[in-house]
C-alpha cells in the first residue's frame, strides 16, 4: 500500500541536525536511530515514495512513539513529528484494523450509560472478589503481551458527574463549566471535588454538563479517526448548548485540554464548518491551573496561608508544558508546599497512550523506571502533576520501583491547603 498523505511537505524541513534525538523518550530506553524523530521522518518519506512497505515491522516502529512532543519543542525547523506519526497510525489502523480490546474501550467511551455500568462493575469487582483473591492487593490488568500486567487505578463508588448537580451556585457573578475527563470522572474524583472547593472559595459558580463525553484523545492516539471525529462532533454540538452562558470551560487534565484546544481543529481539517464551530468552543477552553492563575487571585490567597511542612515534587506533563506552555501555573497552586524540583521535570513519564500501555508496555515500564528514580531521588513526600494519565503511569512506576511518594493533583493540594487554613 502506498501512502496518500504528503509527509514530505513537513519532513523536507528536517535538516538532520539531530537536536531532537537526546530529548526523544524512546531513544532514552532504546538506542536505535530507527526509532528516533529523525529516523521516523526518514521512514515516513520512504513510505510516501513507495520504498518502504507499511508492514508489521513498520507498524511496530511507528507504534513505539510516545507522542510526547519533546522532539517538536526543540526542533529548529518545527517539524511536527508527532502529528506525522499520528497520521501514520491512522493509516496503520486502516490497514491492520484495531485490536478488539481497544474497540471495546472506544465503544464504551461513546456511551456514557454503558461506561457508568462498567465503572460500577469494576468498583464492585475490585472491592469484593478481586481484592480478596489477591490478598488485598490492587487489581492488575493483563493481556498476554504484558507479562505481569499493570496495576489498575482504583475506581470510585460514584463518578464525579453522578455526584453533583448540574448547576452549583456559589454566589458569584461568573460561571465556569467543568470538562472533567474520563479518569478524573471515574477514578480520581478528588480532582473534581477539589476544583469545586476552589470555585466555591472564589465565589465562581460551576456548571457540570452531565452529557459530556471523552475528548477523543485515546482513539486519536490509536489512529481511530472515525471514533475520534464522532466524539469531537458530539462534544461540539453539546458544548454549543451552553458555551455562551459560561466564562470558560475548565479542564483539570493536561491530555484532555491539549486534545481539545490543539487537536480538535486539526482532526477536523478539511471540514471547514466544523473547524469554525470547534474554534468557537475551544476559545473558551483552558487547562484549569492556567485559568485559575490568570483570572483569579487564587495564587495570592494560597500564598497568604504560609507553608505546610510537606514537600512536593512536580512532574510537567508533556501535554501541559510542551504543547500548552503551562508549567508555572500548577507550581503556583503548590505555593503552600516546599517544592523540590526533580532533575528533569519535563522528561516524559512514559504513559504514551493506550497502545504503549498495552502492546508496548515494556517501553512504558523502562521510561517509568527512570521517572520513578528521578522522583525518589528528590526525597519529596508527594508527587504532583496536572494529568491523570501521568498519575496512572507514575503510580505504576513508583509501585514497581518501591518508592514511597504519594500522588496528588495540584488542585487537590491547593484545596487541601485552603481547607486546613479554614479549619485552623
Number of residues lying near ligand SF4 (CB under 6 A):
28
Contact 96, 59 (CB under 8 A): yes
CA angle 404, 388, 100 (to 5 degrees): 115
Does residue 10 bind ligand SF4 (CB under 6 A)? no
User: What string marks each residue from 26 to 45 as x (binds ligand SF4 by CB under 6 A) or -?
Assistant: x----------xx-xx----
Residue 255 has a CB neighbour count (10 Å cut-off) of 29
**Whose Cβ is closer to ligand SF4: residue 78's or residue 203's?**
78
Does residue 19 bind ligand SF4 (CB under 6 A)? yes
Question: Of residues 29, 44, 58, 71, which one binds ligand SF4 by CB under 6 A?
Answer: 71
Does residue 69 bind ligand SF4 (CB under 6 A)? yes
Does residue 15 bind ligand SF4 (CB under 6 A)? yes
User: What string marks each residue from 81 to 110 as x (binds ligand SF4 by CB under 6 A) or -?
Assistant: xx----------------------------
Contact 238, 212 (CB under 8 A): yes
Does residue 323 bind ligand SF4 (CB under 6 A)? no
Q: Residue 27 Cβ, how far from ligand SF4 at the closest point, in Å?
A: 6
- Which triple of cell numbers denotes residue 208? 457540570
Give just the sign of the alpha carbon dihedral 34, 228, 98, 149.
Answer: positive
CA–CA gap between residue 360 and residue 26 (Å, rounded):
11
**Whose Cβ is closer to ligand SF4: residue 42's or residue 120's?**
42
Does residue 241 bind ligand SF4 (CB under 6 A)? no
Bridge partners of 287? 251
Q: Which stretch binds ligand SF4 (CB under 6 A): 22-30, 115-123, 249-257, 299-307?
A: 22-30
Q: Residue 35 Cβ, how far from ligand SF4 at the closest point, in Å?
A: 8
Q: Which stretch binds ligand SF4 (CB under 6 A): 79-87, 111-119, 278-286, 399-407?
A: 79-87
SS3 239: helix
129-158 positions binding ligand SF4, by CB under 6 A = none
Q: Residue 370 Cβ, how far from ligand SF4 at the closest point, in Å?
A: 14
**Which helix (H) or strand (E) segment is 26 a member of?**
helix 25-29
CA–CA gap between residue 135 and residue 295 (Å, rounded):
48
CA distance readout (Å), 135 to 69, 130, 143, 146, 149: 40, 8, 21, 22, 17
Question: Of residues 30, 34, 77, 296, which one binds ligand SF4 by CB under 6 A?
Answer: 77
Q: Which stretch binds ligand SF4 (CB under 6 A): 48-56, 69-77, 248-256, 333-341?
A: 69-77
Does residue 60 bind ligand SF4 (CB under 6 A)? no
Q: Which of 283, 281, 292 is nearest to 206 (CA)?
A: 292
207-226 positions binding ligand SF4, by CB under 6 A = none
**Whose Cβ is closer to ligand SF4: residue 67's or residue 98's?**
67
Q: How many CA atoms lie within 13 A of 14 on its CB side?
A: 27
**Whose Cβ is closer to ligand SF4: residue 16's or residue 148's?**
16
Does residue 255 bind ligand SF4 (CB under 6 A)? no
Does residue 360 bind ligand SF4 (CB under 6 A)? no
CA–CA gap between residue 265 and residue 280 (Å, rounded):
10
CA distance readout (Å), 208 to 192, 413, 415: 10, 22, 19
Count of H-run helices and E-run strands, the chain: 25, 11
Does residue 416 bind ligand SF4 (CB under 6 A)? no
Residue 279: phi, psi to the nearest 5?
A: -65, -35
Q: Which of 177, 181, 180, 179 is nearest to 199 (CA)?
A: 177
Q: Which stretch binds ligand SF4 (CB under 6 A): 48-56, 75-83, 107-115, 148-156?
A: 75-83
Contact 371, 349 (CB under 8 A): yes
Does residue 159 bind ligand SF4 (CB under 6 A)? no
Interface contacts to ligand SF4, rule CB under 6 A: 14-20, 23-26, 37-38, 40-41, 65-71, 75-77, 79, 81-82
Amino acid at each position: 500500500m502506498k501512502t496518500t498523505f504528503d509527509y514530505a511537505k513537513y519532513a523536507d524541513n528536517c535538516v538532520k541536525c539531530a537536536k531532537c534525538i537526546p530529548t526523544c523518550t524512546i531513544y532514552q530506553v532504546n538506542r536505535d536511530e530507527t526509532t528516533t524523530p529523525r529516523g521516523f521522518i526518514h521512514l515516513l518519506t520512504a513510505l510516501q515514495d513507495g520504498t518502504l512497505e507499511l508492514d508489521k515491522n513498520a507498524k511496530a516502529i511507528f507504534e513505539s512513539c510516545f507522542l510526547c512532543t519533546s522532539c517538536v519543542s526543540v526542533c529548529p525547523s518545527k517539524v511536527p513529528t508527532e502529528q506525522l506519526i499520528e497520521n501514520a497510525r491512522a493509516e496503520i489502523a486502516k490497514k491492520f484494523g484495531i485490536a478488539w480490546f481497544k474497540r471495546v474501550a472506544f465503544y464504551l467511551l461513546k456511551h456514557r450509560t454503558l461506561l457508568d455500568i462498567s465503572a460500577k462493575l469494576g468498583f464492585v469487582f475490585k472491592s469484593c472478589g478481586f481484592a480478596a483473591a489477591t490478598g488485598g492487593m490492587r487489581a492488575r490488568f493483563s493481556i498476554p503481551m504484558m507479562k505481569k500486567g499493570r496495576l489498575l487505578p482504583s475506581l470510585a463508588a460514584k463518578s464525579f458527574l453522578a455526584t453533583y448537580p448540574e448547576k452549583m451556585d456559589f454566589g458569584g457573578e461568573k460561571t465556569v463549566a467543568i470538562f472533567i475527563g474520563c479518569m478524573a470522572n471515574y477514578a480520581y474524583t478528588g480532582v473534581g471535588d477539589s476544583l469545586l472547593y476552589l470555585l466555591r472559595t472564589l465565589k465562581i459558580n460551576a456548571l457540570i454538563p452531565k452529557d459530556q463525553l471523552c475528548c477523543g484523545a485515546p482513539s486519536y492516539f490509536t489512529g481511530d479517526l472515525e471514533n475520534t471525529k464522532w466524539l469531537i462532533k458530539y462534544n461540539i454540538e453539546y458544548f454549543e448548548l451552553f458555551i455562551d452562558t459560561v466564562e470558560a470551560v475548565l479542564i483539570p487534565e493536561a491530555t484532555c485540554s491539549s486534545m481539545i484546544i490543539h487537536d480538535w481543529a486539526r482532526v477536523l481539517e478539511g471540514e471547514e464548518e466544523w473547524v469554525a464551530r470547534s474554534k468557537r468552543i475551544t476559545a473558551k477552553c483552558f487547562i484549569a491551573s492556567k485559568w485559575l492563575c490568570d483570572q483569579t487571585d487564587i495564587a495570592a490567597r494560597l500564598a497568604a496561608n504560609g507553608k505546610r511542612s510537606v514537600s512536593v515534587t512536580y512532574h510537567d506533563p508533556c501535554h501541559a508544558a510542551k504543547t500548552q506552555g503551562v508549567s508555572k501555573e500548577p507550581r503556583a497552586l503548590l505555593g503552600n508546599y516546599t517544592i523540590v524540583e526533580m532533575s528533569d521535570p519535563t522528561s516524559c513519564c512514559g504513559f504514551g497512550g493506550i497502545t504503549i500501555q498495552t502492546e508496548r508496555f515494556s517501553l512504558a515500564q523502562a521510561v517509568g523506571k527512570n521517572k520513578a528514580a528521578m522522583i525518589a531521588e528528590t526525597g519529596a513526600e508527594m508527587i504532583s502533576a496536572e494529568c491523570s494519565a501521568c498519575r496512572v503511569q507514575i503510580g505504576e512506576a513508583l509501585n514497581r520501583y518501591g518508592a514511597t511518594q504519594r500522588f496528588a493533583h495540584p488542585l487537590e493540594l491547593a484545596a487541601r491547603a485552603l481547607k486546613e487554613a479554614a479549619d485552623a
